Amino acid sequence: MSSASVADSFIQPTMAEKNTRYRIGYALAPKKVQTFIKPSLLNLAKERGIDLFPIQLTEPLIDQAPFDCIIHKLPDPEWTNQLKILLSHYPIVVVIDNPEAIELVNSRVTMLEAVSHLKPPPGLSVEVPLQVFVESPESLLAASEGINLPVIAKPLIADGSSGSHQMYLVVDDKGLGELKLDPPFVLQEFVNHGGVIFKVYVAGRHIQCVKRRSLPYISPEKLGTSEKLIPFSQISDAAAIDYPIDDESSYAAELPPLEFVNVVANQLRQGLKLNLFNFDMIRDSRAGGRYLIIDINYFPGYAKMPSYETILTDFFLYVVKKLPTDC
């Protein structure tokens, strides 16, 4: 699979560091533990002086100290309170990431706000699709008048839960009337992008861009020939959708320029004040230099990223050695 990466070189330990061990606790949902905390990651981290261990959520966090670092993805007020208590006693513990910053990307109303402040290299642009908020069933009609069909209907909450991935491609007014998504949700403009989505993974200063199949190209003449409302769980899993596809749809589309990916990812990292996230980006089929960021995900499925063990271990070492992350 083609990929582009921007990563600091492999960190070689000094003789003194070989005898130093760092303790990183992780507080993750069981499914995330299963997909992320793999033996290959545990073993590489251990070889390089990092011990990853599970935080017991049934016990007070402060009783499980000391920590050099904590990584977490638990959208729960009690967990946030536990972190505050820990930091009041051990302020030098590095928490990746700040719960308040995570909360902003857990909502599809606020997650894309930072994109408007990005300054990409000359000749290219990065934007967000037009998006409207639907607060209640009664407001659907009025909200939809502010956006052209087809659209993608997405749940408001984007916290990684199964419900947050239930989306719909709404082709026309009939499909909009059949939509069974419970408010609140958003309607996001569908932009033809050649059936390719670029997923950019960020772990501190480590960046990797890969391409995946996406929603197919929808030509105007084909809008009336298929389903009006098409459910799917993830954009990058949408290749199986039974919808007319333009034969010119190019899965072999070139990756975005490396400099562009690097600049956008680093600016977004600083704007979001997050270290562990990915963003989904598409290229407008009508204008090759126009890119759109359509989603941002906190602590995504890193195991899908080539060489994720090395990249994440490098990131952990930067964190525990108190090197700057700019966040």
**Two tokens, residue 195:** 């059936």
Cα–Cα separations (whole angstroms), residue 122 to 118, 145, 200 = 12, 34, 20
Q: What is the pLDDT of residue 245?
A: 42
Q: How confident is the model at residue 9 (pLDDT cuts 50, 70, 90)?
A: very low
State the binding site for Mg(2+): 280, 295, 297
Task: Characterise 261 by phi-psi region: left (phi > 0), alpha (psi -120 to 50), beta (else).
Answer: alpha
Mean predicted lDDT score pLDDT of the chain: 86
Higher pLDDT, residue 227 or 38: 38
Q: How confident is the model at residue 232 (pLDDT cuts 50, 70, 90)?
A: confident
Q: What is the pLDDT of residue 6?
A: 34
Q: What is the pLDDT of residue 239?
A: 45
Judge whether residue 27 has pLDDT over 80: yes
0.85 exceeded by pTM: yes
Q: What are phi and psi of 272, to 5 degrees?
A: -80, -20
Q: How confident is the model at residue 327 (pLDDT cuts 50, 70, 90)?
A: low
Tokens 């899965």 appear where? 251
Mean pLDDT check: name the lowest of 127-131, 171-175, 242-246.
242-246
Give the pairing type, strands 69-73 and 94-96: parallel
Task: Characterise 135 by phi-psi region: left (phi > 0), alpha (psi -120 to 50), beta (else).
Answer: alpha
Give tens-digit pLDDT for 235-283.
Answer: 555 444 444 444 444 445 789 999 999 999 999 999 999 999 999 999 9
Q: Is 290 helix (H, G, I), strand (E, B) or coil?
A: strand
Q: Is 292 helix (H, G, I), strand (E, B) or coil?
A: strand
- Residues 6 or more apart from 113 whose CB is under 8 A from it? 104
Q: What is the pLDDT of residue 8?
A: 36
Give tens-digit pLDDT for 34-70.
Answer: 999 999 999 999 999 999 999 999 999 999 999 999 9
Judge whether residue 318 has pLDDT over 80: yes
State the binding site for ATP: 108, 154, 188-199, 214
Higher pLDDT, residue 242 or 23: 23
**Two tokens, residue 145:** 């008048």
Q: Tell me what the mean pLDDT of segment 225-229 comes to.
A: 69
Q: How confident is the model at residue 216 (pLDDT cuts 50, 70, 90)?
A: confident
Whether cis (ω within 30° of 0) applies to the bond prior to 150 is yes
Strand (E) or helix (H) holding 234: none
Give the pairing type, strands 206-213 and 3-6: antiparallel
Q: What are phi and psi of 222, to 5 degrees?
A: -100, -5
State the binding site for 1D-myo-inositol 1,3,4-trisphosphate: 32, 73, 165, 199, 297, 301
State the binding site: 32, 73, 108, 154, 165, 188-199, 214, 280, 295, 297, 301
High-pLDDT (> 70) share of the chain, %:
84
